[in-house]
Structure 1
């Protein structure tokens, strides 16, 4: 299904039937340990590999549970140029067992006309989500 965000100024394809959570500046679609999170904010400039290296990577290291950097690269998506940060993190602890799961994360950062959007895709390590995550990330368009 296509999700449209008037607040974020974009649209993106997401799987039907996934749970949805939203705030004033984000929306998440969740199915078990798989998550698609979109967030947005005002920005004065487009993200670059250099700005991600100097600002975003240190912030992720401080704020992400058991963060492990994997890769940083420039990407071109149909929605425009993007910075892609790949990393691993631990899931939220299970409320009953306390168990955490290791997750692979793809974080795309895009920019247009003073707005920055973040597409964060996470799934268990080893899950074969290459094609679904490609479909989601390549469906992003600015409104």
Structure 2
């Protein structure tokens, strides 16, 4: 539940910006009578920054996300993006539901959420390497980021 709330908050702040600068901690209390401390970021985290941080130990996965989805998870229509060539490809990592949906569900992972998409990509990479994303390898293999990470 907290992943869903965090993801929703992340998407809303990405689309609509941060809370107003004059917002008080009381305005964001989670429990009645129990205010929480709120610190406003000078610059909100972008999805690219989030993905790169998430995959800091596997930078190739961040490059794959760049090539597969241009670091997008939600489209302009408000829905999770689908592949331009293959509608079964879903989310920032463009994971193919035809091949991976059943396994992801058995693992308790929802490929349509940002966290689920990233989590499954990390799991899949540990099992199969970059093979599932071979079709975009001409893009991510030439990345300067990967050369620096080696």
Tell me the TM-score range normalised by the shorter chain: under 0.3
Q: Which has the larger radius of gyration?
A: 2
Higher helix share goes to which structure? 2
When normalised by structure 1's length, the TM-score is 0.24
Q: Relative contact order: is structure 1 or structure 2 higher (C-alpha 8 Å, sep ≥ 6)?
A: 1
When normalised by structure 2's length, the TM-score is 0.23
